[in-house]
Structure 1
Amino acid sequence: MDLPRSFTIREHSHRILDPFTSEKLAILGAAIGLRPGASVLDLCCGKGEMLATWARDHGITGTGVDISTVFLTAARKRTAELGVASQVTFVHGDAAEYVAAERVDVAACVGATWIGQGVAGTVALLERSLRPGGMLLIGEPFWRADPPSQEAVEACHVRTREALETLPGLVALFDGLGYDLVEMVLADEDSWDRYVAAQWLNIRTWLDANPDDELAPELRVELSREPLRYTRFQRPLLGWGVFALMKR
């Protein structure tokens, strides 16, 4: 059970596996009022940067769950670098099936709501681990503008317009699920650039070092195609944010 190699190649240099900078991650931690000793569950935690930096900056304890052994190795290294390895535990497993042994103060799925087949299912999954009065964090893309064509839709890595909400549509969805939206921190074009453009250098560096690898033709096509798709469609059309929710 692991991610395909292409994911780890593409995001080799990344600490945050979403269009979020370290500054925005810090803003989010401060905005939701984290306190020392608060417990945080992060499903699809990636390289664990959220848990590691919040353990350092706010004194939280945490558990991260991810399917990627490569990402989890990086996550454990990061907590050791920051001196918080005793505060954070990482679990290799399917986040879609994980429920915390003890209910937590904050339950998060940041940028991976496919584990619940969408926002509603992911909220229901996170609820199983959240204490009464706790907070959910959902990271999710949304349309900033109406995509002009099916080509534009697919360039944003979804199949249909209906696969994503607008920002007001997301807020209405949260409300319909019985949650108050109590904070949000949104990506901007610069944080999108830092996430996506860094992937191109990662791919190019890997291709130069591994020209005969079986993945080389696929990644060569991706590197030739994605910068134009991103600048033409994804950058102007696609938003992303982390939304803090509390049960009404």
Structure 2
Amino acid sequence: MDLPRSFVIREHNHRIHNPLTEAKLATLGRAIRLRPGTTILDLACGSGEMLCTWARDHGVVGTGVDISTVFVAAAQDRAAALDVTDQVTFVHGDAAGHVAPTAVDVAACLGATWIGDGVAGTVDLLGRSLRPNGTLLVGEPFWRAEPPDHATVEGCHARTRDDYHDLPGLVGLFTALGYDLVEMVLADEDSWDRYVAAQWITIRAWLDANPDDPLTADFRAELDTAPQRYVRYLRPHLGWGAFALRRR
């Protein structure tokens, strides 16, 4: 049980595996008014940056679950580096279906709603771990601009236009699911650059060091096309946000 090797190679230098910068992640922590002792469950936690930095900056405690052995190890190293190992725990496991044994103040999944087969299923899953009046955090893409053709849809890693909502549609979905949207922090073009463009230098360094690896041809082809696809399609058309919700 692990992520594909190609995904891990592409993002192994990332501490945040979504289009939030460190500054925006810090803004999100302040925006939801974290307090010392706040309990958090982070599903598909990646390399644990959210839990680790919020433990350092706000005194939260919590658990992160991720399917990647590499990312879980990185999260544990990050906790040690920030001296918060007594506040956070990282577990290798499948986040899909994971429910906290004790209800938490904040239940989060930032950018991996496939664990619930979409936004609605992920909201339902997170809600099973949430205490009354707790905060649910969901990270999800949305259309910033209407895709003009199918090439744009595919360039934004979607199969159909309906794979993503526009921002009003996404907010409307949260309402339909029975939640108030109480805060949000949105990615901008620069933070998208820091997430996506940073992968290209990682891939190039990996290619230079691994010319005979079985994945070399695939990564060479990716680096040949990914920057043009990103600037043509994804950067102008796709948004991303972290949304804080509370049950009505």
| Bin for the TM-score computed over the shorter chain | over 0.9
Structure 2 counterpart of 1:71: 71
Q: How much identity, in percent, do the aligned residues show? A: 70
Offset at residue 11 of structure 1 (A):
0.7
The runs of at least 4 aligned residues of structure 1 exceeding 3 Å deviation read none
Structure 2 counterpart of 1:240: 240
1:12 and 1:112 mapped to 2: Cα distance?
A: 17
Structure 2 counterpart of 1:111: 111
1:197 and 1:108 mapped to 2: Cα distance?
A: 25
Structure 2 counterpart of 1:192: 192
Structure 2 counterpart of 1:92: 92
**SS across alignment from 2:102:** coil
**SS across alignment from 1:96:** coil
Structural mapping, 1:1-248, within 5 Å: 1-248=1-248
Residue by residue over 1:160-189, the C-alpha shift from the partner in whole angstroms, topping out at 9 and shown as x without a partner, is 000000000000000000100000000000
Offset at residue 28 of structure 1 (A):
0.2
Structure 2 length-normalised TM: 0.99
Aligned partner of 1:115: which letter?
I
Offset at residue 192 of structure 1 (A):
0.3
| Cα RMSD, aligned residues only | 0.5
Structure 1 length-normalised TM: 0.99
1:69 and 1:30 mapped to 2: Cα distance?
A: 30
Gaps spanning 5+ residues in structure 2: where? none
**SS across alignment from 2:240:** strand
Offset at residue 8 of structure 1 (A):
1.2
Aligned partner of 1:194: which letter?
R
2:130 and 2:51 mapped to 1: Cα distance?
A: 16
